[in-house]
Amino acid sequence: MFDEVSPRYDLINDVLSVGNSRLWRVAMTKALQPRKGMRILDLAAGTGTASAAIAKHGAHVTAADFSEGMLAEGRIRQAGNDLIDFVWADATQLPFEDDSFDAATISFGLRNVEGPERALAEMFRVVKPGGRVVICEFSRPTSSLMRGPYTAYSRAVLPRIAGLINKSAAEAYRYLNESIEAWPAQDRLAAMLREVGFERVAYRNLTGGIVALHRGFVPREPVEIPTAEPAAKTPARAKSTSKPKVAASKPKAAARTKSPAEPKTAPAKPAPKRTDAPSEEEA
């Protein structure tokens, strides 16, 4: 589905969001705080539009996606940008060693993952202690006055406009609306981040809650692994076409070691004692 719409994907998003997609990208980049020399994972990167915005700050970006069509389009558009590497990856089994990145982000892609909790656990695993994860995703409008018109637009108008731009896009954008309506509200996504182990979790609404920006940090202090409930880290399987090292899992410090468990489970670091609550503070 995404392979078919990849050539005009960014144009469709600009038109359907009435230009707001650019503002959301700026907000995501600001929340991520990329700096020169950082290694950042852009998961579900698509054609690399967000990756390019991050790379402008001097960070090296690994643009990972499940769609070969999106990656192919991204390599064309970002040709010559040495700060971006495009990699095929399954979000639930990332082909990177533990603590490989200074930060990670995913924009409008977590909804599409079968098992989003596993994708969050994988981002938690590959980001260094003290690093942040930023999620930019469609959510629930907070105002009832906005909710009705927005739902009508998403169900009826959005697929038709998308189909006019790209005939293959109509079905993709009908799926978009269905996935948005099934997606957890802002507070629930914040709770999912805490359950994985992120601390200092916060979110803020953009465009009246049509989009929400969530942020969480990997704890700096080692997380003790309870002996009664051992976690597991399994090698990831993925097809990579770029520079990052592929999955041979790197052992961590003693306090963060994992015990063997069922293969192909989503590794996760146990959450520290909850000390924060979801908020709409600056993500």
Identify the pLDDT of residue 255: 40
The mean pLDDT values, 10 residues at a time, for the chain of 283 residues are 54 69 95 98 96 98 95 95 98 98 97 95 98 95 85 77 65 71 94 98 96 97 54 46 46 41 45 44 49
Q: Is 40 helix (H, G, I), strand (E, B) or coil?
A: strand
Identify the pLDDT of residue 162: 65
Identify the pLDDT of residue 259: 40
Domain range list for the chain: 2-142+182-256, 144-176
Q: Is 101 helix (H, G, I), strand (E, B) or coil?
A: strand
- Per the listing, tokens 């650019």 go with 22
Contact present, 94 and 125 (Cβ < 8 Å): yes
N- to C-terminal Cα separation, the chain: 31
- As a whole number, the mean pLDDT across the chain is 80
Distance CA 27, CA 31 (A): 6
Which of 227-249 are b and which e, b meaning 16 or more Cβ less than 10 Å from the residue's Cβ?
A: eeeebebbebebebeeebebbee
Alpha carbon 241 to chain centroid, angstroms: 20
Single out the residue of 134, 276, 278, 149 nearest to residue 207, CA to CA.
Answer: 149
Contact present, 138 and 111 (Cβ < 8 Å): yes
CATH of domain 2-142+182-256: 3.40.50.150
Contact present, 56 and 77 (Cβ < 8 Å): no
Going by their DSSP bridges, the two strands 127-138 and 211-217 should be labelled as: antiparallel
Distance CA 128, CA 110 (A): 20
pLDDT in tens, 158-213: 777 767 766 665 566 666 778 788 899 999 999 999 999 999 999 999 999 999 99
Question: Which two structure tokens, joined as six digits, stand for 223?
Answer: 């997380």
Helix (H) or strand (E) segment spanning residue 20: helix 20-32
Identify the pLDDT of residue 166: 63
